[in-house]
């Protein structure tokens, strides 16, 4: 990258980092623990709310995950409207369809029940409800909503995205196949219910890939240049919890303690990256999600080691510290470079132990131009990555990702 572009990127990142320190991001009120979901209907009622819209997806409905919550709302004399058509990599069409139900049913609050897709879809339904004249496409980027959402309850059923803690919602345009983040302080949910019992039936491949998504949040936040004491603390705790618990949840899905630890890790990583940003792993993963429908966690899990290798020495120090925090990855006496390399190898080993592939299916050289354009537009100048990447360098990485 030429020197002018570098100075521009680093200047923007510097001012954003200061801005985020002056305007601290709120955290959701967290209700956590096994079985805590059963308390939600009374809690919602105690806030004077009567008619939620529950946003979820068909897969979650099919396995009956929201059924006890819906039944207990009926018992509590509450009417709950449901939108269950959210697709992975949720689309603008999903949002408009959910908004229609929200308006027609005169809803007064939103329950996001599911993985990142349902939570993000629900966030932008809320944004459209308070900004009816702003189309979703115009919300792309930063601070285009600036209005309080209806009371918002996030109930994650995967342990990955951390959307229950973040300022972000990532939306796809089904016509252009572009996937982009919408970021605004008002998108942080008001309440998050972390009930590990909801994650016990997560299939193995979703457990593994969503878990590595959380790890990617922690790592990208920690190695970036916009950390605070809080983000460092959250990212290191998340990294340790993930190395200690992810493989166990993959092998023994019924282990409630391990599931609970992964849920906490995903939340911590969300708190970290929403203040300290992500990096090129996410920028490329979002683009591939829009273009090929590659599941978000899978894309991140595959891309993460390649980008960390590409950062090279520029990321060695923070990666070495993460290796120390995670425990069991390196020796105290190892050099910084060796610790960092062992950390990257530990991620590769973790991926391999959970049958995560090393290449992106369907990635075509013909698409490199559009991928590079979109990914660099998302990442530069905002993401405070350890080393800035230009077009040529991204193409080199994409070539390595091809089957």
Q: Where on the chain is the footprint of ligand NAD (CB under 6 A)?
A: 57, 59-60, 63, 65, 88-89, 114-118, 120, 157-158, 160-163, 166, 168-170, 198-199, 201-202, 206, 210, 213, 289, 296-297
Distance between CA atoms of 141 and 226, rounded to whole angstroms? 18
Cα–Cα–Cα angle for 82, 86, 89, rounded to 5 degrees: 155
Shortest distance in whole angstroms from residue 206 CB to Fe ion: 14
Shortest distance in whole angstroms from residue 219 CB to Fe ion: 11
Among the listed ranges 188-196, 207-215, 227-235, 333-341, the one in contact with Fe ion (CB under 5 A) is 207-215
Compute, in degrees rounded to 10, the torsion defined by CA atoms 126, 168, 30, 57. 60
Distance between CA atoms of 118 and 123, rounded to whole angstroms? 9
Q: Residue 206 binds what, of Fe ion, ligand NAD, none (CB under 5 to 8 Å, by partner type)?
A: ligand NAD
Shortest distance in whole angstroms from residue 269 CB to Fe ion: 9
Distance between CA atoms of 325 and 319, rounded to whole angstroms? 10
Identify whether the C-beta of residue 130 lies closer than 8 Å to the C-beta of residue 149: yes
- Phi-psi region for residue 335, left (φ > 0), alpha (ψ -120 to 50) or beta? beta
# binding residues, Fe ion (CB under 5 A): 1
Q: Residue 351 binds what, of Fe ion, ligand NAD, none (CB under 5 to 8 Å, by partner type)?
A: none
Shortest distance in whole angstroms from residue 122 CB to ligand NAD: 10
Q: CB-wise, 66 or 386, nearer to ligand NAD?
A: 66
Shortest distance in whole angstroms from residue 313 CB to ligand NAD: 28
Q: CB-wise, 9 or 37, nearer to ligand NAD?
A: 37
Of 57, 213, 220, 378, the one binding Fe ion (CB under 5 A) is 213
Compute, in degrees rounded to 10, the torsion defined by CA atoms 98, 146, 136, 120. -50
State the residue for tokens 């959701």.
28
Among the listed ranges 14-22, 206-214, 230-238, 304-312, the one in contact with Fe ion (CB under 5 A) is 206-214
Q: CB-wise, 14 or 143, nearer to ligand NAD?
A: 143
Q: Residue 287 binds what, of Fe ion, ligand NAD, none (CB under 5 to 8 Å, by partner type)?
A: none
Q: CB-wise, 50 or 201, nearer to ligand NAD?
A: 201
DSSP 385: -
Q: Quick count: other Cβ atoms within 10 Å of Cβ 92?
A: 19
Provide CB contacts within 8 A for 252, sequence distance 6+: 258
Residue among 53, 58, 57, 90 at smallest CA distance from 70: 53
Shortest distance in whole angstroms from residue 249 CB to ligand NAD: 12
Q: Residue 163 binds what, of Fe ion, ligand NAD, none (CB under 5 to 8 Å, by partner type)?
A: ligand NAD
The 3-state secondary structure of 147-204 reads: CCCCCEEEEECCCCCCHHHCCEEEEEECCCCEEEEEECHHHCCCEEEECHHHHCCCCH
Q: CB-wise, 329 or 354, nearer to ligand NAD?
A: 354
Among the listed ranges 11-19, 145-153, 205-213, 321-329, the one in contact with Fe ion (CB under 5 A) is 205-213
Q: CB-wise, 69 or 272, nearer to Fe ion?
A: 272
Q: CB-wise, 240 or 296, nearer to ligand NAD?
A: 296
Q: CB-wise, 201 or 387, nearer to ligand NAD?
A: 201
Strand-pairing partners, residue 153, are: 111, 191
Main-chain phi, psi angles of 56, to 5 degrees = -150, -165
Shortest distance in whole angstroms from residue 165 CB to ligand NAD: 8
Residue nearest to Fe ion (CB): 213
Shortest distance in whole angstroms from residue 212 CB to ligand NAD: 10
What are the residues binding Fe ion (CB under 5 A)? 213
């Amino acid at each position: 990258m030429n020197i002018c572009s570098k100075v521009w990127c680093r200047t923007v990142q510097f001012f954003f980092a200061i801005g985020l320190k002056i305007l601290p991001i709120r955290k959701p009120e967290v209700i956590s623990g096994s079985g805590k979901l059963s308390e939600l209907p009374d809690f919602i009622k105690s806030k004077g709310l009567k008619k939620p819209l529950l946003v979820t997806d068909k897969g979650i409905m099919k396995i009956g995950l929201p059924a006890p919550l819906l039944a207990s709302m009926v018992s509590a004399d509450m009417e709950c409207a449901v939108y269950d058509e959210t697709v992975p990599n949720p689309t603008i069409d999903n949002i408009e369809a959910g908004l229609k139900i929200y308006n027609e049913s005169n809803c007064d609050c939103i329950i996001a029940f599911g993985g990142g897709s349902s939570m993000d879809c629900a966030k932008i339904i809320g944004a459209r409800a308070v900004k009816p004249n702003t189309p979703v496409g115009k919300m792309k980027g930063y601070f285009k909503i600036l209005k309080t959402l209806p009371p918002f309850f996030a109930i994650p059923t995967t342990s990955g995205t951390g959307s229950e803690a973040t300022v972000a919602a990532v939306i796809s345009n089904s016509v252009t196949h572009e996937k982009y983040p919408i970021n605004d302080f008002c998108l942080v949910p008001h309440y998050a219910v972390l009930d590990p019992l909801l994650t016990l039936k997560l299939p193995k491949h979703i457990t593994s890939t969503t878990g590595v998504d959380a790890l990617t949040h922690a790592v990208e936040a920690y190695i970036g240049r916009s950390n605070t004491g809080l983000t460092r603390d959250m990212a290191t705790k998340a990294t340790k919890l993930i190395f200690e618990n992810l493989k166990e949840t993959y092998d023994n899905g019924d282990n409630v303690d391990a599931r609970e630890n992964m849920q906490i890790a995903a939340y911590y990583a969300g708190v970290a990256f929403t203040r300290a940003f992500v990096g090129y792993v996410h920028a490329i993963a979002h683009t591939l999600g829009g273009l090929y429908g590659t599941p978000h966690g899978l894309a991140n899990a595959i891309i993460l080691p390649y980008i960390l290798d590409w950062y090279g020495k520029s990321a060695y120090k923070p990666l070495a510290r993460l290796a120390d925090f995670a425990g069991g990855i390196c020796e105290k006496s190892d050099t910084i470079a060796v610790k960092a390399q062992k950390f990257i190898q530990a991620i590769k080993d973790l991926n391999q132990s959970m049958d995560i592939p090393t290449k992106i299916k369907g990635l075509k050289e013909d698409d490199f131009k559009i991928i590079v354009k979109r990914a660099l537009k998302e990442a530069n100048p905002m993401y405070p990555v350890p080393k800035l990447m230009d077009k040529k360098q991204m193409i080199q990485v994409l070539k390595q990702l091809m089957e």
